[in-house]
């Protein structure tokens, strides 16, 4: 697997222009929203940037979407393409939108997402934004749910298996990297929790 942990998202300018046109045809299905916040921590951690839009009434089905957006201060019938993630968890009713309208330095034929500073400038908090859904590309990935399922299903499983070389090596390297004062504090805490 690639060890790259910084987002590299590019679209051809031609694809972005076509998305702008296709979104225009979806304008009869526009949903109304307002700017609620900007980038999530997870997205910022990988170098991405988005604007979080809160739908006024009907939300989008959870998943990954390509849509057009039109800010209230744009001309009539003018949309910008976005790649969006509509969460299915406690944030259902929002979409995290990466606006694909930033030039790529040194490559006039490609575009990328608007950086956070530009988003804040262009779409201030509370701005009304129309969202024209074009296509749902995939399902919503819910890490919290997946994590909870795994934790619940496998509780205690470690007690049933023989410790293997991996666990021993990892545990040893972990202990070696922890400062002595922390290890002592943990031993004290452990002895209180499990008296002999």
**Could you tell me which of 94, 4, 92, 109 has the C-alpha nearest to residue 50?**
94
- For tokens 């795994």, the residue is 150
By CB under 8 A, name the one of 21, 29, 56, 191 that touches other proteins.
21
Q: Smallest distance from the beta carbon of 99 to other proteins, in angstroms?
A: 9
By CB under 8 A, the residues from 82 to 101 that bind other proteins are 83, 85, 98, 101
| Cβ closest to other proteins, residue 108 vs residue 181 | 108
| Cβ closest to other proteins, residue 85 vs residue 93 | 85
Residue 6 in the binding site for other proteins (CB under 8 A): yes
Residue 118 in the binding site for other proteins (CB under 8 A): yes
> Do residues 96 and 43 touch, judged by C-beta distance below 8 A?
yes
Q: Smallest distance from the beta carbon of 97 to other proteins, in angstroms?
A: 12
> Do residues 73 and 59 touch, judged by C-beta distance below 8 A?
no
- For tokens 């290890």, the residue is 183
Per-residue contact string for residues 26-55; x = within reach of other proteins by CB under 8 A: ----------------xx-xx-x-------
**Could you tell me which of 83, 75, 63 has the C-alpha nearest to residue 131?**
83
By CB under 8 A, name the one of 154, 162, 195, 196 that touches other proteins.
154
3-state secondary structure of 65: strand
Query: Which listed range, 9-17, 28-36, 54-62, 86-94, lies at the site for other proteins (CB under 8 A)?
Result: 9-17
For the purposes of burial, counting CB atoms within 10 Å of the CB of 4, is it exposed (0-12), middle (13-18) or buried (19 or more)? exposed
Query: Which listed range, 27-35, 54-62, 87-95, 118-126, lies at the site for other proteins (CB under 8 A)?
Result: 118-126
CB atoms within 10 A of CB 104: 13
Residue 155 in the binding site for other proteins (CB under 8 A): yes
Residue 3 in the binding site for other proteins (CB under 8 A): yes
By CB under 8 A, name the one of 44, 56, 135, 185 that touches other proteins.
135
Q: Are strands 63-71 and 102-104 parallel, antiparallel or unpaired?
A: unpaired
Q: What's the rounded Cα separation, in Å, for the pair 66 and 84? A: 6
Residue 57 in the binding site for other proteins (CB under 8 A): no
């Amino acid at each position: 697997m690639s060890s790259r942990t910084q987002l590299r998202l590019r679209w051809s300018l031609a694809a972005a222009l076509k998305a702008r046109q296709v979104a225009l045809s979806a304008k009869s299905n526009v949903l109304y929203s307002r700017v609620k916040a900007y980038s999530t921590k997870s997205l910022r951690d990988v170098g991405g940037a988005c604007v979080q839009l809160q739908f006024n009434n009907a939300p989008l089905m959870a998943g990954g979407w390509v849509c057009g957006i039109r800010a209230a201060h744009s001309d009539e019938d003018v949309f910008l393409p976005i790649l969006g993630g509509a969460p299915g968890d406690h944030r259902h009713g929002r979409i995290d939108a990466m606006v694909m309208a930033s030039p790529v330095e040194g490559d006039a034929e490609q575009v990328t997402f608007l950086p956070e500073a530009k988003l804040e400038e262009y779409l201030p908090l509370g701005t009304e934004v129309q969202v024209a859904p074009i296509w749902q590309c995939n399902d919503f990935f819910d890490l919290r749910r997946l994590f909870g399922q795994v934790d619940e299903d496998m509780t205690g499983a470690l007690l049933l298996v023989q410790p293997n070389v991996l666990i021993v090596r990892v545990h040893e390297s972990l202990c070696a990297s922890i400062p002595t004062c922390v290890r002592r504090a943990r031993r004290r805490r452990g002895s209180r929790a499990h008296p002999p």
